[in-house]
Amino acid sequence: MTYPSRGDITPFFAMEVMKEANKREAEGKPVFHMEVGQPATSAPSLVKEAAARALKDHPIGYTEALGIPPLREAIAQHYSDIYGVDVSSSRVVITTGSSGGFLLSFLSLFGKGDRVVLAEPGYPAYRNILKSLDVEAVGLPCGPETNFQPSPALMDTLDGPLNGLLVASPANPTGTMLKPEELEALVGYCRDRKMHFISDEIYHGLTYGTQMVSALSYSDDVVVINSFSKYFSMTGWRLGWMIVSEELAVRMEKLAQSLFISAPALSQYAAVEAFKCRDELESYKKNYERNRAILLQELPKIGLDKLAAADGAFYIYADVRHLTDDSMTFCKNMLAECGVAATPGLDFDPVRGHHYIRLSFAGATSVIEGAVDALRRWLPSQDPDIKKSS
């Protein structure tokens, strides 16, 4: 039996690590989970109460493909409140997580053989979804000199026709952000070259002293993708949204009708209340800030001192090339020998990722403190060669 190559994608190594970590945990061994970008907190209380009411008051059937009107209106109001941007609710597309948004946007914007630029390191699902659609993902190597973000100058180093650019600010795995003028320059770069611009803003709300701005501040002709998973702490509810042009919303509605019918109805009814939960959500964010501060202070003391800026999101992207040329084996050894679960950089950068690891600080502070103590014993900074993985 043969299968088309579009399904031949790399695994999501973070999930593989989580599987091994869960196995170790089931054996009664200690595990410090820092491998998956998932808040340890539950959905906000008003969201859970709304879900309970919806179960009582609604049949929880299909909804309109673009989402229920109250949720689309609440999201439109969110852009006015947070960014000062006018967005009609008719431009809001409710999706099955941000993943559904990426699929709908890629299908709507690109055809077979088109070429879309992705920063490396970057979220692996971008690359894998594009490949599954026979669209070429063009990796753009980004390093500390540009805060691991793309720039017009870097874009000019690429050869051949380009049909789109996807940026994430804050980014996964680095947590780095584009400055407002840098984001504006990239939007303008794409506009001048008739390239589609997609802005992944799913970590908006989770920033630490760095200004947060939406690509919608610079153009209506962009695709913005967001989610209730991260800031709103609703990963398993599988609910996201997009802001698109009126014309694109019509195209996406037809695709969504056939691909998804609708996003989960119960999650939609509940999420209407999410925007009323700022105080509770900001308390969650304070936990991330505390965890971030611990890692930025303690990791350099134990030899992990080359870290991305971590302007936002809840990740530390660490350069470990002084310890290993094989981040996959390094992460396996780290989990097996001291119980710290981290993601190898190969998930995010297939070329240079063997020199990096990603640590998530979305968990409880006790987990972060335990991980630091375990690493301090496992990886003494006085002898950086002690844990070489080769």
Q: Across residues 89-97, what is the average pLDDT?
A: 98
How is residue 312 annotated by DSSP?
B
How is residue 149 annotated by DSSP?
-
Same domain, 167 and 283: no
In the predicted model, is pLDDT for residue 380 greater than 90?
Answer: no
Q: Which of 222, 240, 275 is a domain's end point? A: 275
- What is the percent of the chain with per-residue pLDDT over 70, rounded to a whole number? 97
Residue 94 tokens read as: 């409710």
Same domain, 182 and 263: yes
The confidence band for 387, taking pLDDT boundaries of 50, 70 and 90, is very low
Looking at the domain assignment, is residue 385 inside a domain? Answer: no
The confidence band for 286, taking pLDDT boundaries of 50, 70 and 90, is very high
Q: Which of 227, 242, 275 is a domain's end point? A: 275
Q: Within its chain, how far is the Cα of 141 from the centroid? A: 18
Looking at the domain assignment, is residue 389 inside a domain? Answer: no
Same domain, 210 and 340: no
The confidence band for 9, taking pLDDT boundaries of 50, 70 and 90, is confident
Looking at the domain assignment, is residue 360 inside a domain? Answer: yes
Looking at the domain assignment, is residue 152 inside a domain? Answer: yes
Same domain, 214 and 301: no
Phi, psi of 171 (to 5 degrees): -105, 155
Nearest Cα neighbor of 68 from 271, 286, 242 is 271
Number of independent structural domains in the chain: 2
Give me the pLDDT at residue 389, please.
40
For position 353, which CATH number holds? Answer: 3.40.640.10
Give me the pLDDT at residue 137, please.
97
Residue 338 tokens read as: 């001291």
* Residues sharing a CB contact under 8 Å with residue 372, sequence separation 6 or more, in sequence order: 294, 295, 298, 299, 302
Q: Within its chain, how far is the Cα of 190 from the centroid? A: 22
Highest mean pLDDT among 58-62, 198-202, 330-334: 198-202
Q: Which of 225, 242, 275 is a domain's end point? A: 275
Q: Name the H helices within the chain.
A: 13-26, 45-57, 69-83, 97-109, 124-132, 152-155, 180-192, 246-259, 265-271, 278-298, 327-338, 365-378
5-8 long-range contacts (CB < 8 A, ≥24 apart) are 6/131, 6/132, 6/133, 6/134, 7/132
Looking at the domain assignment, is residue 195 inside a domain? Answer: yes
Q: Across residues 39-60, what is the average pLDDT?
A: 96
Looking at the domain assignment, is residue 384 inside a domain? Answer: no
Average pLDDT of the chain to the nearest whole number: 94
CB contact at 8 A, 267 and 239:
yes
Same domain, 103 and 193: yes
Same domain, 259 and 330: no
Give me the pLDDT at residue 388, please.
45
Same domain, 309 and 165: no
Looking at the domain assignment, is residue 390 inside a domain? Answer: no
Residue 321 tokens read as: 């090339």
Same domain, 26 and 55: no
Give me the pLDDT at residue 13, please.
77
Q: CA 133 to CA 388: how far, in whole Å?
A: 39
Same domain, 135 and 174: yes
Same domain, 25 and 83: no
Give me the pLDDT at residue 296, please.
97
CB contact at 8 A, 158 and 140:
yes
Q: Across residues 55-80, what is the average pLDDT?
A: 97
Same domain, 22 and 155: no
- Could you give the count of Cα atoms lying within 13 Å of 118 in the half-sphere of its Cβ? 26
The predicted-structure confidence for 190-237, as pLDDT tens digits, reads as follows 999 999 999 999 999 999 998 899 999 999 999 999 999 999 999 999
The confidence band for 385, taking pLDDT boundaries of 50, 70 and 90, is low
DSSP per residue, 101-134: HHHHHHHHH--TT-EEEEEES--HHHHHHHHHTT
Same domain, 321 and 185: no
Looking at the domain assignment, is residue 386 inside a domain? Answer: no
Nearest Cα neighbor of 224 from 140, 277, 167, 173 is 167
> Which domain covers residue 338, as residue numbers?
5-42+278-378
Give me the pLDDT at residue 378, please.
94
Q: CA 47 to CA 233: how far, in whole Å?
A: 10
pTM: predicted TM-score of the whole model, two decimal places: 0.93
Residue 387 tokens read as: 């844990």
Q: How far apart are the first and last CA of the chain?
A: 37
Residue 144 tokens read as: 């500390």
